[in-house]
């Protein structure tokens, strides 16, 4: 079992990695004397993970909970679902001392965190991620929210969980495409802040491609260490936390232009390829950095080129309307070396277009 702490003063919390038996006692300790609502989705339930958790809680004499199973998918990441969760919380008699528990990927995690942030003006919640993406990214850091028809994550709140715990066995039922989505974020950590981690990934692509659980435990903990460090330094994204957006400025734009048919991780991989291309054009880094990054992405079966027939002007337009660029001008995270990035404001649009054409 591995444990690390997200260091946020009196809102610090542990991230625990292992299997359910390793952390169930700690979870029951946190829930002791309180009611809880477990929120999951149909796929996670069908894979048997809800039943496993419920049995483990009961075996540890904690029975004061109810479970809510949501339909899966980003299309349900809406305010209507937040209301649905809140109503289920009322029905389950959750009070101000109660706790919500998210057992699923990023969608349920974000919704549950947001529902917890506003239910009775805020109750505690716990994240039990079951996807690689949620384990290495969305479950840590306290960003919660829902989508509006006008855009993704347009409403939300910063609300830190009380604990994050992962049973690595749950990943064994995860579809391959979901693994690869998470891997894009893992490569991102190597690129933005940890060249040794990047090298570890480079040297172990076979293990990554065969989804070796032991090796995954190792890369998840390292990724969480990276994310926890960044979040502790800048909880509300006033400055340095923005480095986590590497690959996401172009990524979000292509995701949106595909009407979200392009999965997030693949969009981020393309976004990283575009960002490193721009960095080379701006003389911020050498072509070697680009080659190393793109080779790793390719070995992990992630794309490094824009979808066919992409409209470069439309991508730039979509980037400008991103909520993170509200002050006008485009801000991007660009690599200066493997393991190092720089936040660049007011990116030259013509050069950006040239970079995008370079990854067409
Ligand atoms: P993400 O975590 O990538 O943000 P989602 O929360 O939408 O995305 O989860 C991705 C998909 O994987 C959903 O359809 C979800 O139901 C499913 N899923 C989540 N965890 C597991 C698991 N451990 N086994 C099988 N399917 C899972
Ligand atoms: Zn992401």
Residues 338, 269: one domain? yes
Reported as a pLDDT band with limits 50, 70 and 90, residue 166 is: very high
3-class SS at 19? coil
Residues 267, 237: one domain? yes
Q: Choose among 235, 192, 238, 229: nearest CA to 342.
A: 192
Whole-model pTM: value is 0.96
Residues 120, 58: one domain? yes
Active site residue 264: yes
Q: Choose among 187, 194, 220: nearest CA to 295.
A: 187
Active site residue 121: yes
Q: At what angle do helices 176-193 and 195-202 cross, to 10 degrees?
A: 140
Active site residue 248: yes
- Measured at the CA of 105, the angle between CA 99 and CA 106, to 5 degrees, comes to 85
185 CB less than 6 Å from ligand 1? no
Please determine, for residue 321, whether its predicted confidence score (pLDDT) is greater than 90. Answer: no
CATH at 202? 1.20.1090.10
Residues 198, 111: one domain? no
Ligand nearest to the CA of 39: 1
Q: Each residue of 40-70: pLDDT tens digit?
A: 999 999 999 999 999 999 999 999 999 999 9
H helix intervals, the chain: 20-31, 42-46, 49-59, 79-91, 106-118, 132-133, 176-193, 195-202, 205-209, 213-233, 248-257, 264-281, 287-299, 312-320, 349-358
Averaged pLDDT for residues 111-120: 98
How remote is the CA of residue 242 from the centroid of ligand 2, in Å?
Answer: 12
41 CB less than 6 Å from ligand 1? yes
Residues 251, 110: one domain? no
Averaged pLDDT for residues 151-158: 94
Q: Each residue of 8-48: pLDDT tens digit?
A: 999 999 999 999 999 999 999 999 999 999 999 999 999 99
Query: How many domains does the chain fold into?
Result: 2
| DSSP secondary structure letters along 134-191 | IIIIITSS-EEEEEETTEEEEEEEE---SEEEEEGGGGGGS-HHHHHHHHHHHHHHHH
Residues 182, 139: one domain? no
173 CB less than 6 Å from ligand 1? yes
Active site residue 55: no
State which of 173, 195, 213 marks the end of a domain.
173
Residues 155, 197: one domain? no
State which of 154, 173, 192 marks the end of a domain.
173
CATH at 118? 3.40.50.1970
Residues 146, 21: one domain? yes
Please determine, for residue 265, whether its predicted confidence score (pLDDT) is greater than 90. Answer: yes
Averaged pLDDT for residues 327-356: 95
Ligand 1 atom having least distance to the Cα of 134: 2
Residues 18, 160: one domain? yes
Averaged pLDDT for residues 124-139: 97
DSSP state of 32: T
Q: Each residue of 191-216: pLDDT tens digit?
A: 999 999 999 999 999 999 999 888 99
How remote is the CA of residue 174 from the centroid of ligand 1, in Å?
Answer: 7
**Enclosing domain of residue 86:** 2-173
Ligand nearest to the CA of 252: 2
Q: Each residue of 173-195: pLDDT tens digit?
A: 999 999 999 999 999 999 999 99
Ligand 1 atom having least distance to the Cα of 173: 24
Residues 259, 273: one domain? yes
Residues 264, 308: one domain? yes
Write down the catalytic residue from 49, 143, 180, 188: 143
From 77, 128, 131, 135, mutation site for ligand 1 pocket: most ligand atoms within 8 A of C-beta: 131
Please determine, for residue 325, whether its predicted confidence score (pLDDT) is greater than 70. Answer: no
105 CB less than 6 Å from ligand 1? yes
State which of 110, 145, 173 marks the end of a domain.
173
Ligand 1 atom having least distance to the Cα of 265: 3
Please determine, for residue 324, whether its predicted confidence score (pLDDT) is greater than 90. Answer: no
Residues 46, 100: one domain? yes
State residue 175's pLDDT score.
Answer: 95
Active site residue 143: yes
State residue 146's pLDDT score.
Answer: 98
State residue 326's pLDDT score.
Answer: 59
Write down the catalytic residue from 30, 264, 266, 277: 264
């Amino acid at each position: 079992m591995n444990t690390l702490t997200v260091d946020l003063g009196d809102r610090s919390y542990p991230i625990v990695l292992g299997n359910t038996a390793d952390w169930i006692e700690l979870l029951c300790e946190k829930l002791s004397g309180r009611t809880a609502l477990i929120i999951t989705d149909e796929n996670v339930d069908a894979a048997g993970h809800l039943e496993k958790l419920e049995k483990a809680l009961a075996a540890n004499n904690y029975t004061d909970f109810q479970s809510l199973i949501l339909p899966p998918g980003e299309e349900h990441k809406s305010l209507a679902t937040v209301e649905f969760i809140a109503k289920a919380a009322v029905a389950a008699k959750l009070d101000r001392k109660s706790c919500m528990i998210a057992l699923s990927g990023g969608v349920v995690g974000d919704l549950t965190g947001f529902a917890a942030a506003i239910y009775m003006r805020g109750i505690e919640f716990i994240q039990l991620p079951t996807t690689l993406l949620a384990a290495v990214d969305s479950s840590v850091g306290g960003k919660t929210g829902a989508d509006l028809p006008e855009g993704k994550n347009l409403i939300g709140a910063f609300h830190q969980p009380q604990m994050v715990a992962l049973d690595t066995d749950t990943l064994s039922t995860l579809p391959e495409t979901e693994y690869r989505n998470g891997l894009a974020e893992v490569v991102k950590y190597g690129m933005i802040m940890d060249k040794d981690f990047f090298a570890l990934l480079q040297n172990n692509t076979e293990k990554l491609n065969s989804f070796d659980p032991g090796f995954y435990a190792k890369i998840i903990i390292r990724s969480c260490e990276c994310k926890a460090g960044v979040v502790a330094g800048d909880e509300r994204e006033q400055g340095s936390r923005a480095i986590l957006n590497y690959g996401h400025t172009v990524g979000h734009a292509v995701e949106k232009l595909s009407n979200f048919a392009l999965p997030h991780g693949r969009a981020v991989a393309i976004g990283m390829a575009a960002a490193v291309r721009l960095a080379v054009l701006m003389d911020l880094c050498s072509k070697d950095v680009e080659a190393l990054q793109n080779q790793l992405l390719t070995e992990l079966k992630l794309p490094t080129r824009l979808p066919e027939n992409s409209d470069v002007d439309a991508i730039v337009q979509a980037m400008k309307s991103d909520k993170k660029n509200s002050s006008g001008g485009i801000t991007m995270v660009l690599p200066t070396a493997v393991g190092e990035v720089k936040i660049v404001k007011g990116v030259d649009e013509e050069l950006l277009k040239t970079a995008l054409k370079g990854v067409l």
